[in-house]
Amino acid sequence: MTVSDGQDETTAIAVNIADQVENSLQADRPLFLIVYYEHEAVKVAFLGKIRQILNKRGVTPQTFSSGQRPEHGVGRLYPLLEDVAKNGAVALVTDLPHLPDSIDLDSSFLKYLNLHRDLIAKHHLRFVLFLHTADAERFISSAGDLWDFRHHTYWLAGSQETAKTSL
């Protein structure tokens, strides 16, 4: 686990996550990482970076968008994560569903995530969950038991402009 000199902070986070993924795969342990972001563009740029680094290391990440795709939603996500774990890969869960016409996270999805968090340890699930900083309190309050299982939290810094340049 090393951060090379000259790496920008976002790249360093991506490298660290890739290190954690490799370590958890080698040790056959679960991995649940949280990445907070403030700007969508920063997240998108970061996703590109992390995919590239993981691919170079021979790990193909699978992306799930619970916020956009119902087939990655309630009742569906954990089985998908289990498949990813069986294939020795890592999942990137890029967003969580919000209530229609609301800025609030969908509580039924949070309950689902929370209730079945023991599957993380049971099936050695490995996934990185991307959360907007504005959703942090709601996530911690509504899915506190899941939050308790986190292995590490990262905060993506940077503005939309920086992200565009990076893209």
Binding to other proteins by CB under 8 A, coded x per residue (else -) over 31-60, reads -x----------------------------
The string of DSSP letters for 60-90 reads: --EEEETTT-GGGSTTTHHHHHHHHHHTT--
Stretch that binds other proteins, among 1-9, 39-47, 92-100, 156-164 (CB under 8 A): 1-9
Query: Which one of 63, 68, 87, 141 is in contact with other proteins (CB under 8 A)?
Result: 141
Task: Select 94 or 114, whichever has its Cβ closest to other proteins.
Answer: 114
Question: Residue 114 corresponds to which amino acid?
Answer: N
d(CA 68, CA 85): 22
For residue 7, state whether it binds other proteins (rule: CB under 8 A).
Answer: no
For residue 30, state whether it binds other proteins (rule: CB under 8 A).
Answer: yes
- The separation between the first and the last C-alpha atoms of the chain, rounded to the nearest angstrom, is 25
- Which sign, positive or negative, has the C-alpha torsion 84, 89, 90, 94? negative
Query: Which one of 10, 13, 17, 20 is in contact with other proteins (CB under 8 A)?
Result: 20
- Smallest distance, other proteins to C-beta of residue 161, A: 25
d(CA 127, CA 66): 13
d(CA 79, CA 61): 16
- Smallest distance, other proteins to C-beta of residue 167, A: 27
Binding to other proteins by CB under 8 A, coded x per residue (else -) over 80-119, reads ---------------------------x---xx-xxx-x-
Number of C-beta neighbours around residue 112 at 10 A: 19
CA distances (Å), origin 63, targets 8, 67, 89, 130, 151: 24, 12, 11, 11, 19
Q: Which residues make up the interface to other proteins (CB under 8 A)?
A: 1-3, 16, 20, 23, 27, 29-30, 32, 74-75, 107, 111-112, 114-116, 118, 120-121, 133, 136-137, 140-142, 144-145, 147-153, 155
